[in-house]
Amino acid sequence: MDHHCPWLGGKCVGHRTYPSFFHFITCITLFSAYVTYLAGTAFWWSLNNPTSVLDEVTPLHELFLSCAGVIFGLVVGSFMVYHIYLISTNQTTLESLSPFLLLRFLPPLPSSLRLSDPPIEHELSYTQRRLVRNAHRTIKLYDLGWQENWAQVFGWRKPGGWIPRILYGGASL
């Protein structure tokens, strides 16, 4: 499981639903840019042609609509850019946010130390925690290179397998 998304009807985003989720946030970002462009050009036209405007409140509506488009575009667009990074490095949201998931891949500890296996975060010293956080920035366990990562997420290995993923965000099989 990657994360829980209330925007998709309260569903969990995982291996099978991640392409749909990415398609969703991409479409929201593009639609926000489109709304911003249309409302912005209408607002600009209203300012340049004040005698042609039918209602005096219309430019205000166009301004608010373009501002809402900018806000949605920036918020969801930055979220989309973050998920582009996650896909390119083949990480889930949970792997990216918690460096201590690397602890389960450490070699076994000597029997003289009595830590859980794998060690839990509070059992580590400050220096050990800092080392784990620094290692998390450079170690990407499942990274195969950006092209293979995108192929793995969207199922591009099959001939024409990318078509349903692009058109309607189908599941990665």
For 85-114, the pLDDT digits (tens) are 999 988 888 777 776 665 666 655 555 555
Residue 87 lies in a domain: no
Range of the domain at 160: 1-75+145-173
Q: Highest mean pLDDT range out of 22-26, 63-67, 164-168?
A: 63-67
Can you tell me whether residue 23 is helix, strand or coil?
helix
**pLDDT of residue 31 exceeding 90:** yes
pLDDT of residue 172: 46
Average pLDDT over the chain reads 78
Phi-psi region of 106 (alpha: psi -120 to 50; beta: other; left: phi over 0): beta
Residue 38 lies in a domain: yes
* pLDDT top residue among 32 and 93: 32
Residue 107 lies in a domain: no
| pTM, 2 dp | 0.71
Residue 46 lies in a domain: yes
| Ramachandran angles phi, psi of 13, nearest 5° | -95, 120
pLDDT of residue 5: 77
Residues written for the chain: 173
d(CA 28, CA 12): 19
Contact 79, 25 (CB under 8 A): yes
Residue 169 lies in a domain: yes
Mean pLDDT of 81-86: 94
The least confident of 17-21, 83-87, 96-100, 147-151 is: 96-100
What 8-state DSSP symbol labels residue 3? E
Residue 117 lies in a domain: no
- Percentage of the chain surpassing pLDDT 90? 26
Q: What's the token pair of residue 142? A: 């499942």
d(CA 159, CA 16): 19
How many structural domains is the chain composed of? 1
* pLDDT top residue among 134 and 103: 134
pLDDT of residue 49: 84
Active-site positions read 5
Residue 121 lies in a domain: no
